[in-house]
Structure 1
Amino acid sequence: MHLTRFRLNTARPGARRLLASPQSLHAAVMASFPRLLPTDGTAQGPRVLWRLDHNARAEVLLYIVSPDRPDLTHLVEQAGWPAAHSSETPGWHTRPYAPFLDRLAQGDTFAFRLTANPVHHIRRKDGEPTKATAHLTPSHQMNWLLKPERQERAGFLINEKPHDQRLLPAGCTDKQHPHDGDRYTLTVRDERTLSFAKSRDTRPAGPKVKVVTVTYDGHLTVTDPHALRRTLTQGIGRAKAYGCGLMTLAPVPAG
């Protein structure tokens, strides 16, 4: 497994076109693997995951987790800094991921980031099949990730804040939603609604795909290293082809 980081040059038209189309960006990511077909990778094995981090207007980072080492030369030429490209400075950074994954141990604590597509299944009418519907409020988006069975399957537990660091004594703002407020070291931000035509449908008025994404930042504790390794290489939730599901870990900042 490999973890790759690539910075997009947002001043370039090619970068702006990719940022405007998750389908195009997904195709560009998949084109980075000469031996990997788009259909490779299943729910039972490693797959290609990617995520965009919009840290600032001029700093957009693309992260990729993949079984094979990628070649992002085409992305450098289209959306990077081609003049700075060389064999010594290829324009992206790739590191082996397996050593970090192998070191994961129960009780380890990390800061994490995840962009996901939090949905729930509802039935609008009796007898109608359920339909996946996006959570649209920060409260429900937060509760989606805090769901105990989701955390258990993923191999982690999101940390609670010490009581003396909570703004409210109970750590929540709504008794009906005990996960709200500042009880947990978890924030939800950067909600985006992606809307684009279905694949191979070029009609201007054709059906659109809509995906709501949000970014989670927080702290977690490893409860099941094997399950967490699966989470980090297979992703969480839906819409993985559109930049969702990739969780990354980092040391907890000091202090």
Structure 2
Amino acid sequence: MYLSRLPLNTASRAFRRDFADVQHMHRTLMSVLPEVVNGEPARREHALLWRLDPAETGYVLLVQTRDRPAWDRLPDGYLAGEAQARSMEGALEAIAPGRALAVRLTANPTRIVRDPAAPKEVRGKRVPLRDPEEQLGWLARKGEQHGFVVPAGADGGMAVTISPCPPMVGYKGEGTGRNKITISAVRYDGRLVVTDAAAFTDAVRSGIGRAKAYGCGMLSLAPIAPA
């Protein structure tokens, strides 16, 4: 696994197009990866996850992939500096039960709302969770699923802060068949403790939650210095 850090040129026309349309961003990132010929979903096969973070001079794009990407395939002028890529294997091997880590996660917390009068076979509508307590509950449930817990903070609540993100918009399809994508994402910053090393490692590799192709789901981790 590789984690790449890309300083972005906000004056680049190609970047401005991708910034305005997450589907275009997805296509741009897929373009630097080899073609998948085994019939598997390409994003999943490459384990592609990404997140756009604000920086002092614009934005930094963090990209996680199974193999080292060919960043020289990006459009001319897309980057404001050199792309940096490093292996994640050492960090993954250090994951162990009981280990505390600092975490950042941009995620798309949702739930399904069903019409009680509708037949059971009719699928409900997926809607974003907008209440902070519900967003924290979503993260706690993901922890149960993916081998981590969020400890209590100094105030007795979960040791994580939630920041709303601007709506993420994109368009799938062409012409009159285009469908608008709107993602209501939030950013979690805080601490977690690993409870199941294998499940948590899988979550780091694969991401958590929905909208993984569109900038959500990547767990960024850092060690916590001893007090």
Cα distance in 2, alignment partners of residues 73 and 34 from structure 1: 13
1:137 CA displacement: 2.5
The yes-or-no answer on 1:200 pairing with 2:173 is yes
- 2:89 corresponds, among 92, 98, 101, to 98
Identity, in percent, stands at: 32
Cα distance in 2, alignment partners of residues 19 and 251 from structure 1: 31
Scaled by the length of structure 1, the TM-score of the pair is 0.79
Q: Which consecutive unaligned segments of at least 5 residues does structure 1 have?
A: 85-90, 172-182
Q: Deviations over 1:4-59 (max 9, x none)?
A: 111112233322221111111111111111254682364xx761111111244x33
What is the RMSD of the two structures over their aligned residues, measured on CA atoms?
2.2
- Secondary structure of the residue aligned to 2:74 is helix
Cα distance in 2, alignment partners of residues 214 and 76 from structure 1: 29
Relative to structure 1, the CA distance from residue 74 to residue 13 in structure 2 (aligned partners, 3 Å threshold; closer, same or farther) is same
1:68 is matched with 67
- Secondary structure of the residue aligned to 1:33 is coil
Contact 1:115 1:214 in 2 (8 A): yes
Contact 2:20 2:170 in 1 (8 A): no
Contact 2:46 2:67 in 1 (8 A): no
- 2:202 corresponds, among 211, 225, 230, to 230
Relative to structure 1, the CA distance from residue 46 to residue 12 in structure 2 (aligned partners, 3 Å threshold; closer, same or farther) is closer
The yes-or-no answer on 1:252 pairing with 2:224 is yes
1:143 is matched with 137
Relative to structure 1, the CA distance from residue 124 to residue 253 in structure 2 (aligned partners, 3 Å threshold; closer, same or farther) is farther
1:209 CA displacement: 2.0
- Secondary structure of the residue aligned to 1:192 is coil
Contact 1:46 1:233 in 2 (8 A): no
- 1:189 corresponds, among 156, 160, 163, to 163
- Secondary structure of the residue aligned to 1:77 is coil
- Secondary structure of the residue aligned to 1:231 is helix
Q: Pick the structure with greater CA Rg.
A: 1
Contact 1:46 1:234 in 2 (8 A): no
Q: Deviations over 1:167-203 (max 9, x none)?
A: xxxx4xxxxxxxxxxx121011132222332x22323
1:254 CA displacement: 6.2
Relative to structure 1, the CA distance from residue 64 to residue 221 in structure 2 (aligned partners, 3 Å threshold; closer, same or farther) is same
- Secondary structure of the residue aligned to 2:92 is helix
1:221 CA displacement: 0.7
Cα distance in 2, alignment partners of residues 139 and 55 from structure 1: 28
